Amino acid sequence: MLRFLLEKEFKQIIRDQFMPKVILMMPVMMLLIMPWAADQEIKNIKLSVVDNDHSTYSQHLIQKVTASGYFILEDISSSNAQALRSIESGKTDVILEIRPDFERDLVRDKKSEVMISSNAVNGTKGGLAGSYLSSILADYAQDININIGLISKMSTTLIQVMPYNKFNTYLDYKVFMVPALIVMLLTLLTGFLPALNIVQEKEIGTIEQINVTPVKRILFILGKLIPYWVIGFIVLTICFVLAAVVYNLTPVGSLLTIYFYAAIYVLVVSGLGLVISNYSATMQQAMFVMFFFMLILVLLSGLFTPISSMPDWAQFIAQLNPLTYFIQVMRSVYLKGSGVINLIPQLLKLIGFALFFNSWAILSYKKSQ
């Protein structure tokens, strides 16, 4: 009986003009575009400079800031008021104001002042812009102290700090994001498609034909789960190939570990999709409910922001989020080479989610509907 149900499901998927294209094209488009766009490193910050000194030292400072690669010199204003107008118009993001007698104070008093004004409408960008400028100014101050003899070159080289990043040597944000984007893609495809499956059969009337057959509820749900389980493996394989070819990114650990956890995770999100489909009367209703849950799952999973930086109530919700644990698995295997032994807590929680959602899907399916 299960064989005939699976044959029916696969024929429906293959004959659908839209679904095979989504399954093949969505991983390609998302992995080719998203890792370049979903980058939290702030660059190309538009800088406005108010140079009230016009000295050699102030020119060197401006050159050092623009040479850092983070700032684009968009505007040189004659006054702070003019620079503020450029921020208000959206032309610039941050103002560096160099006070009069900047060079004289540095040479005579060994200190001087500048003012940094950031556009804090985007708090993250404004804060990072100010932080970047402060770091550049501190480096510039050390160079000036060496030049004027306040600090000798020898004294600055006694202790050197050489940072070494173990799991992402060059701090390439794509290395951190690609494994998480694979998880999000797997969640979207194997969550949304099952959510539309049963409710689609309700709308076209084929569910009534199944209801009059002696098919048991557990076989019916298995017939719905297994095709999307297979689709999940196909999508995952496409993502692995793209990550290796486009980004030269391969997991430090074993691919078999990822496939093992993915096999459980796909059952989790597909089970959730089937539960939503069982309770939905129309495809629009199923789509809106699934979109609501997907939004919460993605935003509270640690995909874009660390869970540890969230408030306590959000951290509590993240602990009930299966996406959280599979992202941890993907990043651990890809970046650290972790194995199943190192990921036992995530395994147990994913198994618990899979049993819960699929049991709920079986119990919530009513043949009398």
- If you write DSSP's letter for every residue of 115-183 in order, what string do you get? EEEE--SSHHHHHHHHHHHHHHHHHHHHHHHHHTTSS-HHHHSSS------SSSTT--HHHHHHHHHHH
Amino acid, res. 99: R
- Its pTM stands at 0.73
Q: Tell me the fold of 45-156.
A: abc type-2 transporter like fold (3.40.1710)
**pLDDT for the residue 156:** 43
**pLDDT for the residue 158:** 43
Residue segments in the chain with a per-residue pLDDT below the cut of 70: 1, 4, 37-41, 122-124, 146-166, 169-171, 208, 211-212, 367-369
**pLDDT for the residue 259:** 93
**pLDDT for the residue 149:** 55
DSSP code, position 99: P
**pLDDT for the residue 283:** 82
DSSP code, position 342: G
**pLDDT for the residue 22:** 77
Domain with CATH 3.40.1710.10 in the chain: 45-156
User: What are residue 163's DSSP bridge partners?
Assistant: none
Q: Using CA atoms, how far apart are residues 355 and 248, in angstroms rounded to an integer?
A: 36
E strands, 214-287, are: none
**Do 68 and 136 touch, CB atoms closer than 8 A?**
yes
Q: Using CA atoms, how far apart are residues 243 and 250, in angstroms rounded to an integer?
A: 7
Amino acid, res. 296: I
Three-state DSSP at 23 gives helix
| Helices 344-364 + 322-331 axis angle, to 10 | 140
Phi-psi domain of 302 (left: phi exceeds 0; alpha: psi -120 through 50; beta: other): left
**pLDDT for the residue 345:** 93
**pLDDT for the residue 159:** 45
